[in-house]
Structures are given as structure tokens and as C-alpha cells.
Amino acid sequence: MQISGAQMVIEAFIAEGVDTVFGYPGGAIMNVYDEIYKQDKFQHILNRHEQASVHAAEGYSKASGKVGVAMITSGPGFTNAVTGLADAYMDSIPLVVISGQVPMFLIGTDAFQEIDAVGISRSCTKHNYLVTDIKDLPRILKEAFYIARSGRPGPVHIDIPKDITAEIGEFDYDIELDLETYKPHTKGNPRQIKKAIEAIAKAKRPLFYLGGGIINANAAYLVRELVQKTGIPAVETFMARGVLSFDDELLIGMLGMHGSYASNMAMSETDLVIGLGVRFDDRVTGKLSEFAKNADVIHVDIDPASISKLVNADYPIVGDVKNVVSDMLEQVEKIDSNNYESWRETIINFNELHPLTFHEDSERIKPQWVVKRVGELLGDDANISTDVGQHQMWAGQFYPFTRPRQFVSSSGLGTMGFGFPAAIGVKAASPEKISINFTGDGSILMNVQELMTAVEKKIPVINIILNNNFLGMVRQWQTLFYDKRHSETDLSVQPDFVKLAEAFGGIGYRVKTKEEFDAALKDAVEKNIVAFIEVIVHRMENVMPMVPSGGSLFNMMLLEKKGDK
């Protein structure tokens, strides 16, 4: 059929089953917005900043497993969105982000709101396109969705000049994609899998190292089965929270810089690491030369470049985790879970020695308590997003996650301002769940304008602001490593968060006691409108345990025993 470039974008969205688009209009993308106005197949959510549009699309994608879609204009619209692209790239989140560009005849002339968008997005997208011919547009749209979601997922950016969205061309979306140069390897090599199974059967102290790739591959429930049938203990990365349920006896906890003592010790003592959908990030491994020093490594990942990048894999398996794990399950009877009995006991002992916990304080609420309490009150009924900082780590440590896609957080890039818009996207994707954003007094101000989006679209995100009057995580490092010189991290001067929420038409609470907190949360859930619950928490609390940057996992700073201040 003969339609305009702008209509092609709409038709492609419909064909791809897109039900929500996040975005912000402007000159170069107006032709497409005109078509959005005319259609009723999907909703458009107008964020109040393009960065928020991309984060919302990320949240949407993480919660739903679908490709997130965002739409922005050229120039400043695009540059505002770059942080979101980079964030999605680091965390392998499938997105299609469409930007308007100045008309073709103006490209290269420093035209109004012209910027070399594909030049900028090249290094923070899985792939990108500048459309220069209407004939290419249907194929590019289709490729973009395919590339975003296949292989190791990631954001794909399409930059479309304004004259191309106006031009009429032939649209046929039933084309076969011919991507000769892009063929993700999804099936694991059977010989390697067999060898890996044999290695597991022979190991004395094997350990599952579970990563976010499992969630991307929709493999969490198969992994649960594998863990259960083998009786092998497991640690999760921050990205993998919810792969195993918090009450799974074989789940030791989170590992890494703020992982539990038992998790990090298990990694230090294991003789066989079974890495599934992981990438040996420096926040996970600590000092590389000391990481899992006594272990052989099985590494399963869809991205060949992740394998042996940092830690040499003795059993490299390139493939989709879901396929590989189901192949492993077919041979699982070769593994005798009784072999690991004493290993499991060792780990229980680690846990008893230094359990993951915190000390209550009689005067002020401890931030960790808030996370635990939300877990007790809402548990499985809530999806959890976070911003970046101490509160983020506490959410990862203390929330009782029960399922994959329950937890959304900016892990690889660590983007303050991610949480609130992401929680909006999460709520748009799964309205039946309560959408909680754990945030800080610093982070929340980085996308606070999203109050307007949430009010307008009636998206009742509950933002729990753990207010420590500090850029807490930076303050913690200053306390520990910069001799308490708290340079530019004191946030004593603050807005009235209650009034701030109210000014946009949301609801605000300021709580200082546990009772007040329970009441506020209950009320916010019932009111069902966007809320700020500001909790005044202990100012100087540190996230513990901690592996100082570049240190070894077994050399942790631990929570001081009660009384020895």
C-alpha cells in the first residue's frame, strides 16, 4: 500500500503489537505525531522530558519482556534521550527509539535543531539507522524491532528526516528479513554442554552464578528447576534478583560489592563457577586475579564477546540461556545433589557467621527497615523500581523478590533519575501490580517532572524517598575513603516533598515513625494516585557489607557488631 513515512511508522508499531509509546513531540517529528493523533491502536504517554521517555520505555520493556518504544524530536529532544539509550545499552534492554531529523536537504548545514544523532548514538546502541530513502523505511523498521529483541537485546535507534516522514512510498511489512551479517547463535554446542555437565558432576563445591541474561531469555523458571534438581547453591547478581525466589533454600544471596558475606565467600571457595547470563562486571568480581581463584568456569551467554572477556572460561557455551539450560536439564540425572551436602553446610555456616542484616535504631527509622517492611506488606503484589545510590543497594539486598521481572533498576550505567520514569513504564506494562520506586532525596529530583506525567495519565507510582539528606552513596565513600570530607554531598537544603507532590496533583506523606510509614503506605495504595512517601531515615547509615573498589571478594568490610561503634 502507498502511505507516508509517518504512517509507515504507525503501521509498523501496530504490526509489532506495540500498545504503548513514550515520547515528546517537536518540529522534526511532527508528521509522525500527526499520525499518532489519528490512530487509536496504541496509547501515547507524554513524559515531561525525553530522558524520562526512554527510561519509561525501559521500565515497560523490563516488566513486560516486550520491546519498549520511545519517540523524540531532533536536536535537544534527541540529546536528552541519550542517557536513556546508554542505560538500555548497558543493561541489554530491547528498545526501538525513533527520532525526527531535519529534512534531508538541510542535513549538514547546521540547520535549526540539527545534530548528528546517529553519530552520537553509535556508541550507545546495539545498532542505529539514518533513513535516507523512503524505500528503506519498512525494512529498517522491521529490522530494528528484530535486532532489538534478538540475540543479546539492546536499544536500536532510527533517525528519520522530516521530509521522509512526509514522503509517500510503498509499505509492505510482510517482507522476509535478509540479515546475512547478523545471525545470533542461540543453540549451545551439545559437546560443550555435555562436558559442562560432567564437570558439574565431578565438582565438590559448584556454584551457580546467575545473571540478568536469564531474565532477558525468559529462562528463570527453567533455571529454578535446574538449581532445584542439582541441589547446587546459587548467587545472583543485582540484575538477576527474582530469578530465584527469596525463600529458595539454595539461594545464598546477591554477590559483589554489596553482596552478602556468604555469597562472596562461596564465590571465593567454589571449585566450579556455573555462570548463566552473566558478564563478570567489576562490581561483581572485585579484584579479578582473586576472583573465584580456585575454580574452573562454565560460562553460558548469548554474546560471544562476553565470554572470556574478563575471566577465562574453561567451558564456554555460546547460546540462549533458555536453550542451554533446557539441554542441561535433559542430562541432569548425571548430577547427584547428595555430593554437595557438606558444601551446602559450609555456606550455611558462612551465613550464620555474618548474616545480611542491619542494626535498628531507637530514634530514627533505618532505611533497610523500610525496604523490608514494604516487602512484608506488599511482597509479591509489588513491582520494584529503584533510583541509584544507597537505597538502590538496600532494595537489592532486602526486598523479598519472588519472580523475574519484578525488579527494575539501572545497573550497568547507574543512572540517577531512572527510577520514577521506569516505574511509570512498569505500571503501564503491568497495571495489576503496585508500582513502587525506592528513591533517594538526590535521585528523585533528577526526573521529578514525571509527577505531571503520572498525574495526567493516572499512573499511581508510589515513590518511597529514603531521605538521608545526603547524596548518601557518595557520602559513604567520602566517609570511608576520603577521611570524612563530605564534599558537596550534604543535601540539608531540600524542597518540601509533600507540597511538591501536591503541587502536581499527587499525594505526599512525610513520615518519621514506623507506624506513620505503615499508615502512609496503606493510604497511598488505597488512594491509587501518584505518591511521594518521604521517610526520614538515619543519615549516616552505610551499605554493608562492602568490598572496596578493586578489593577481593573475601576481604569485605562487615557490619560492625552491635555495640562496637
Q: What are residue 272's phi and psi, to 5 degrees?
A: -155, 110
358: DSSP letter: -
Residue pointed to by grid coordinates 521522509:
164
Are residues 494 and 470 in contact, defined by beta-carbon separation less than 8 angstroms? Answer: no
Q: Does 474 bind ligand TPP (CB under 6 A)?
A: yes
Active-site residue, 330 included: no
Q: Does 441 bind ligand TPP (CB under 6 A)?
A: yes
- Distances from the Cα of 207 to the Cαs of 182, 197, 255, 331, 411, in angstroms? 33, 13, 12, 18, 23
Which of 30, 104, 113, 293 is the catalytic position? Answer: 113
Angle at 125 (CA atoms; ends 123, 127), nearest 5 degrees: 105
Q: Does 468 bind Mg ion (CB under 5 A)?
A: yes
Q: Does 81 bind ligand TPP (CB under 6 A)?
A: no
Binding mask 388-407 for ligand TPP (x = CB under 6 A): xxxx----------------
167: CB partners within 8 A, 6+ apart: 4, 5, 134
State how far the Cα of 32 lies from the Cα of 68, in Å rounded to an integer. Answer: 17
Per partner kind, with CB cut-offs from 5 to 8 A, the member of ligand TPP, Mg ion, other proteins, none near residue 180 is: other proteins
Closest CB to ligand TPP among residues 35, 441: 441
Binding-site member from 61, 415, 478, 542 for ligand TPP (CB under 6 A): 415
**Which runs of consecutive H residues, i.e. helices, occur in 489-549?**
497-504, 514-527
Which of 1, 43, 112, 330 is the catalytic position? Answer: 112
Active-site residue, 267 included: no
Active-site residue, 265 included: no
Q: What are residue 223's phi and psi, to 5 degrees?
A: -65, -40
Which of 452, 473, 544, 546 is the catalytic position? Answer: 473
In angstroms, give the least distance from the CB of 406 to Mg ion: 24
Which of 16, 50, 114, 534 is the catalytic position? Answer: 50
Q: Does 419 bind ligand TPP (CB under 6 A)?
A: no
Q: Does 468 bind ligand TPP (CB under 6 A)?
A: yes
Active-site residue, 50 included: yes
Which of 62, 162, 366, 427 is the catalytic position? Answer: 162
- Cα pseudo-dihedral 380, 385, 388, 394, rounded to 10: -10
- Distances from the Cα of 504 to the Cαs of 417, 458, 553, in angstroms? 18, 12, 45
Closest CB to other proteins among residues 131, 214: 131
Per partner kind, with CB cut-offs from 5 to 8 A, the member of Mg ion, ligand TPP, other proteins, none near residue 139 is: none
Closest CB to Mg ion among residues 327, 541: 541
Active-site residue, 229 included: no
Strands 382-386 and 434-440: parallel
Catalytic residues: 50, 112-113, 162, 473
Chain residues binding Mg ion by CB under 5 A are 440-442, 468, 470, 472
Chain residues binding ligand TPP by CB under 6 A are 387-391, 414-416, 440-443, 466, 468, 470-474
